[in-house]
Every structure is written in structure tokens, then in C-alpha cells.
Amino acid sequence: MFWPEAYGREIKHHCGSSPEGHLLYFSQVACGIEKAARDKGYAIIMVNTGNDGNIEKQSLNKLRNSFIDGMIIGATGSNSRLIRDINTEIPVIQVVRKFDPLLSCVDVDYTDIGYKAVWNLYSKGCRKIALINSSLSLTPYENRYNGYRRAITELDLEEIVISKDSLLQGPSYGYDCTLKLLDEYDDIDGIMLASDSQSMGALRALKESHVSVPDQIKLLSMTGIQIGSMLETSLTSFELPGEEISSVRMISLSMQRLRRHLHQDLSRSFAAVSL
């Protein structure tokens, strides 16, 4: 399984890739896929690309030449042609990040999440709402921004977007971007972040800057996971259906594609997963 985003012959292997398997949401989905696959008799190979396109390319070529039956990938977006070529040999399923409209994908509506997040903060009195984003070459970030921009335009609010160059978008990313936001803008009263892990960094930055949450600034995470409810300062978040993505739909879709590809009944398989 290729995860931060291959199957074959009599079903012997599945492969997946993910960009940031250590990040909590990707880890949740990866663990769910592994469990669901194991329950159906699949063996899984996990690959963590660290959201690095070069590492992803090397991993794809290695897995392509191994005995895998299929691939589940959370791609970086840097190797679309290679992934499409692999899909002509073994089934490839995209997960979380949809870069190629021609390939099957299981994901969520990030545009709708970005749109509703703005309206949620607006309903709580926020009028200067900032988005901490990342590279628009990454589909989830592009789609969240599109939803944010649509809502901001409808509400006639100022568009405030902060990002920085970084392969990893965890707590330190949220921390650095929040400090940058406070330095460049006054009177921010709402901040949207991609994930709970980024929000943890933002909370630390706001605490060090003597800014009260949620009294002065409200935070909203667009990828909520269980850890968010355990923080000293609770977060408002959109909880993504990580278990549903990783178990029922993903495995069912993978099995359907494998059956079409192999034109035969499946008994057991090996899966490679790259994250």
C-alpha cells in the first residue's frame, strides 16, 4: 500500500503507498486497511514515502518488479504517469488523495469540508478567518482552499492564507505557520488547519504568544481524529471516516478490481501498501 499517498496474477500480493504514514490520520487509515486485508487473507507490504516524490518513484519501481497483486496508494502527485503505467499491469486504487481521475479512488469531499469549516467559524462570530494551507499541488490542500475561497467570497470576508515549503505538515508545520500568521496579520479570530496534528502545533504557538483559545482565536481542524478530544484545549474538528475508508469500501473495491483483472475467483493475496 502506497500511502501522504499493486496486485497480480493469482492474487499473491497487494501494494500500497502513503506520503506521511507517521501522521495520525494516514496511520489510522493504513492500520485499518491492514486489518481489513488480513481478515480477508491478504498479506500487506507497507512503504512510507515521507511525501517525497523521488522516494515514491524508487519504491514504485521496486514494487512493480516484485510479486505483488495490487496497489493502494496515497500518492504525492509526482509520479502520475508511472502509476498509470503500473495500473495497466496490476490494479491500482488511490486513497485519500485523488491525483488521477482515470484511476479508482476512495476519498472524501475536501472542498465541502473547507466550505463548511468557514461557515462553522462564521456562525460562532469569527469575521477574520485564516486558512493554514500547504502546496496546492496536493489535491486535499487544493480542494480545501477552493471550499474556503468560495465561502469567504460568499460572506464577503478577507481571504487570509498562510503556508510554507515543507514535505511534512505535522505539529511543527502548524506551529510555524501560526507564528507567521500572528506576525503578518492583526485581529485574526478564527484559524482553519488541515489536521489535529497541525492544530496541536498551533495551540502551542498561541499559548506562547499569550493568545487565549477559544476566547480570542477559535481553531478548527479539518481532519479530526481521536487524539483531538484528549487535548487540554479541546478542538472543533471535522472527523473523517478513516475506518470506513480503510475497511469496507477500500477492500471491497480492491477485490472487485482484482476479480475483473484476473477473471477468476480469489483465495488469498499479498498486498503492498506505500504510505
Domain assignment present for 124: yes
Residues 120 and 85 in one domain: no
Identify the pLDDT of residue 268: 41
Domain assignment present for 173: yes
Residues 158 and 229 in one domain: yes
The per-residue pLDDT for range 13-27, each reduced to its tens digit, is 344 444 443 356 677
The three cell numbers locating residue 223: 481532519
Number of domains in the chain: 2
Residues 140 and 206 in one domain: yes
**Which among 13, 22, 11 has a CA at the least distance from the CA of 167?**
22
Amino acid at 214: P
What percent of the chain is predicted at pLDDT more than 70? 73
* Helical residues (DSSP H) of the chain, grouped into ranges: 24-39, 53-64, 80-87, 110-123, 139-155, 171-184, 196-208, 242-244, 250-262
Identify the pLDDT of residue 243: 59
The per-residue pLDDT for range 31-82, each reduced to its tens digit, is 777 777 777 777 788 888 877 889 999 999 988 888 787 888 888 888 999 9
Cα 117 to Cα 77: distance, rounded to the nearest angstrom: 25
Helices 24-39/250-262 angle, 10° precision? 50
Range with the poorest average pLDDT among 103-107, 161-165, 171-175, 194-198? 103-107
Domain assignment present for 148: yes
Residues 88 and 193 in one domain: no
Domain assignment present for 136: yes
Domain assignment present for 7: no
Domain assignment present for 1: no
* Residue 105 vs residue 160, higher pLDDT: 160
Against a cut of 0.85, is the pTM above it? no
The per-residue pLDDT for range 202-261, each reduced to its tens digit, is 999 999 999 999 999 999 999 876 555 555 666 778 766 655 655 545 555 555 655 555
Residues 169 and 78 in one domain: no
| Whole-number CA gyration radius for the chain | 20
Residues 230 and 114 in one domain: yes
**Residue 170 structural domain:** 110-239
Identify the pLDDT of residue 173: 94
Identify the pLDDT of residue 12: 34
Mean pLDDT of all residues in the chain? 78
Q: How many CB atoms lie within 10 A of CB 39?
A: 10
Residues 26 and 66 in one domain: yes
Domain assignment present for 2: no
Residues 135 and 230 in one domain: yes
The three cell numbers locating residue 270: 499479498
Helix, strand and coil content of the chain, in percent to the nearest 5, comes to 45, 20, 40
Residues 210 and 95 in one domain: no
The three cell numbers locating residue 216: 480570542
CATH code, 169: 3.40.50.2300
Identify the pLDDT of residue 148: 98
Identify the pLDDT of residue 7: 28
Residues 120 and 226 in one domain: yes
Residues 120 and 102 in one domain: no
The three cell numbers locating residue 28: 489510522
The per-residue pLDDT for range 108-122, each reduced to its tens digit, is 788 999 999 999 999
